[in-house]
Amino acid sequence: MEEGKRVCALVVDDDRLSQRVHAALLRKYGILETEVVENGKEAVDLFKSGKTFDLVIMDLEMPVMDGSEATRELREMGVTSMIVGVTACEVEAEKAEFMRAGLDACWDKPLSGSAIIAMLDELAKKLL
Amino acid sequence: MEGNKLQRQAACMRNALFDQGYLDEQFIQLEDLQDEANPNFVEEVVKLFYSDSARFIRNIDLTLNNSPSDFVKLDNIMHQFKGSSSSIGAKKVKQRCTQFQEYCKIGNFEGCMRTFQEVKQEHAALKKKIESYLQVARQAR
């Protein structure tokens, strides 16, 4: 990440373990400002409140509002943040539908360090 | 001297967890996230796993006791359990979760019951081993 540029990330996941691990991964690779919410609706509400994030890590299966619906809503609102989907779902058709909702990429859970590096490389190009 | 002995013991216990198939490379990812700012990260995450998984097991137990069986609900709960298991690298637990889900998909109640017992056994076995390892690792620091 370019020095001096404070990148903000949002982790959207109902699983406490995933929240913890994804936030720690982001911190390890230099993203010091990370917020965590438990479902898609909370993510949408955050953006509606005026908050912005450079990177959103969006889980697919969540109660209240799932990742697909949240991503669609965010894109309809005009959100241009990088939204990366994460899912443990093994059904390719469901992952494809998640991508069609407006994701920039979709990764399998659990995320690895190399996945985070790849995401941040793409984000760096986007922010240039 | 004692410190070195404990470190060797911890290393042995850790290697055994991988060699015996209890853990996979995801656990190494967690270890990589432990640093001075988060000195107990692995232990905290493992504790979180056992807290969440106890809830999943309870919910699956309750759902299995209902008749007729709600295989969709069972599959959903086990999907979450499998996800949690993946997050800490609990390889054998995850494998049993997958088998359980396969029985859910074909509506095989006996298969679900049998595999659920195996899930619980692997879950308990890992808990015993990983807690022993973490205790020695803590003492060795």
CATH number of residue B62's parent domain? 1.20.120.160
CA distance A22 to B31: 14
CATH of the domain at A85: 3.40.50.2300
A84 φ, ψ (degrees, to nearest 5): -110, 125
Hey, is the C-beta of A110 within 8 angstroms of any chain B C-beta?
yes
Hey, is the C-beta of B84 within 8 angstroms of any chain A C-beta?
yes
- Measured between CA atoms, the residue of chain B closest to residue A86 is B83
With 50 as the cut, is the pLDDT of residue A1 above it?
no
* CA dihedral sign of residues B36, B37, B39, B42: negative
pLDDT at B81: 95
Best mutation target, A17, A19, A22, A117, to test chain B (most B CBs within 10 A): A17
Q: Which of B32, B45, B86 sits opposite A20 (nearest CB)?
A: B45
Structural domain boundaries, residue B40: 2-140
Q: Report, as ranges of residue numbers, the positions in chain B whose pLDDT lies below 50.
A: none
Hey, is the C-beta of B26 within 8 angstroms of any chain A C-beta?
yes
ipTM: 0.87
Hey, is the C-beta of A51 within 8 angstroms of any chain B C-beta?
no
Residue A3 lies in a domain: no
Element (H or E) spanning A36, and its range? strand A33-37
The structural domain count of chain B equals 1
DSSP assignment of A101-121 equals TT-SEEEESSP-HHHHHHHHH
Structural domain boundaries, residue A16: 8-127
Mean pLDDT in residue range A48-77: 96
Given an 8 Å threshold on Cβ–Cβ distance, is A17 in contact with B41?
no
Residue A1 lies in a domain: no
Q: What is the pTM of this model?
A: 0.89
pLDDT at A92: 87
CA distance B39 to B34: 6
Task: State how far the alpha carbon of B23 is from the alpha carbons of A25, A66, A127, B45, B72, in Å.
Answer: 19, 30, 38, 14, 28
Q: How far is B58 from chain A (nearest CA, A)?
A: 17
Both tokens of A111, joined, read 């995320």
Q: Which of A28, A88, A109 sits opposite B33 (nearest CB)?
A: A28
**Chain B residues inside the 8 Å CB shell of A24:** 33, 38, 41
Both tokens of B29, joined, read 């990812």
